[in-house]
Amino acid sequence: MGDCILVVGGAGYIGAHMVKQLRRAGFAVQVADDLSSGRREAVLGAPLHVGDIGDPAFVGPLLAALRPAAVMHFASFIQVGESVAAPGKYYRNNVAATLALLEAMRAHGVARFIFSSTAAIFGDPQYVPIDEAHPKAPINPYGRSKWFVEQVLEDFDRAHGLKSVCLRYFNAAGADPEGELGECHEPETHLIPLVLQVASGRRPHITVYGEDYPTADGTCIRDYIHVEDLCQAHLLALRQLLQGGDSARYNLGNGNGHSVREVIAAARRATGHPIPVQVGARRPGDPPVLVADASAARRVLGWQPRYADLDTILAHAWAWERRHAEWRR
The residues that are catalytic are 142
CA distance 139 to 98: 21
Question: In angstroms, rounded to a whole number, what is the distance separating the alpha carbons of residues 324 and 320?
Answer: 6
For residue 113, CA distances in Å to 164, 171, 222, 262, 326 come to 5, 22, 28, 36, 34
CB 94 within 8 A of CB 76: yes
CA distances from 109 to 69, 87, 112, 160 (A): 9, 32, 9, 10
Least Cα distance to 31 among 9, 52, 53, 14 occurs for: 9
Rounded-to-integer distance, Cα 307 and Cα 312, Å: 6
Q: What is the DSSP letter of 178?
A: T
Task: Look at strands 48-50 and 28-33 and give their pairing.
Answer: parallel
**Under 8 Å between Cβ of 287 and 124:** yes
Alpha carbon distance 248, 204 (integer Å): 44
Dihedral sign, CA of 294, 181, 29, 77?
A: positive
Q: Where are the alpha helices (DSSP H) in the chain?
A: 13-24, 56-66, 80-85, 87-90, 97-107, 141-160, 191-199, 227-242, 260-271, 295-296, 310-323
- Taking the C-alpha atoms of residue 163 and residue 31, their distance in angstroms, rounded to an integer, is 21
